[in-house]
């Protein structure tokens, strides 16, 4: 999966009315949705990993959730919002992730030129193209539904402002 769908799917999920009350911080959902790749991809490019390493595991998510929960003094809204994004990321990357690492060893294909490979996949894989187009549609839907036409409204939405989230 690629960037846009990783962000769009947990955001649209968090628009479900009962879920919207729990997962208000959209920025934390977005960070959670991107965090596994923000950690593993640079390490891979530096030759220190396989592109989908430890941050794509349940153990990493559990440890990060605990650290965030404790450091936020038990604030479930913060820790659960980040958790939601990360869980969606892992689900979207299945089956090619080390979900139970380090308890089960995983062998991955090592790409010689990963950037070229990622770009080629982005433009030639119908699933990648379709998911990114779907992600763009979801993001446009969210922008229109919440009338996020101005920077201030957009920032309120990301912060989880009740005035924005209670619309519709």
pLDDT digits over 32-60, tens only?
A: 999 998 988 887 777 666 667 788 899 99
Strands (E), the chain: none
- Its pTM stands at 0.84
CB 101 within 8 A of CB 63: no
Give the domain ranges of the chain: 3-165
Instruction: Supply the DSSP string of 117-144, one letter for each residue.
Output: HHHHHHHH-HHHHHHHHHHHHHHHHHHH
Question: Whose CA is closest to 130, among 8, 40, 33?
Answer: 8
CB 135 within 8 A of CB 5: yes
pLDDT digits over 60-99, tens only?
A: 999 999 999 999 998 888 899 999 999 999 999 888 788 8
């Amino acid at each position: 999966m690629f960037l846009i769908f990783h962000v769009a799917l947990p955001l649209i999920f968090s628009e479900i009315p009962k879920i919207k009350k729990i997962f208000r911080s959209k920025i934390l959902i977005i960070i959670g949705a991107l965090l596994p790749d923000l950690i593993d991809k640079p390490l891979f490019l530096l030759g220190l990993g396989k592109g989908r390493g430890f941050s794509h595991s349940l153990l990493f998510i559990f440890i990060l959730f605990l650290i965030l929960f404790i450091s936020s003094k038990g604030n479930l809204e913060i820790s659960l919002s980040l958790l939601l994004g990360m869980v969606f990321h892992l689900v979207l990357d299945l089956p090619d992730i080390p979900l139970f690492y380090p308890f089960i060893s995983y062998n991955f294909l090592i790409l010689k030129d990963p950037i070229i490979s990622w770009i080629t996949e982005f433009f030639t894989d119908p699933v990648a193209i379709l998911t990114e187009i779907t992600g763009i549609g979801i993001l446009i839907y969210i922008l229109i539904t919440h009338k996020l036409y101005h920077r201030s409204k957009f920032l309120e939405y990301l912060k989880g402002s009740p005035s924005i989230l209670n619309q519709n």
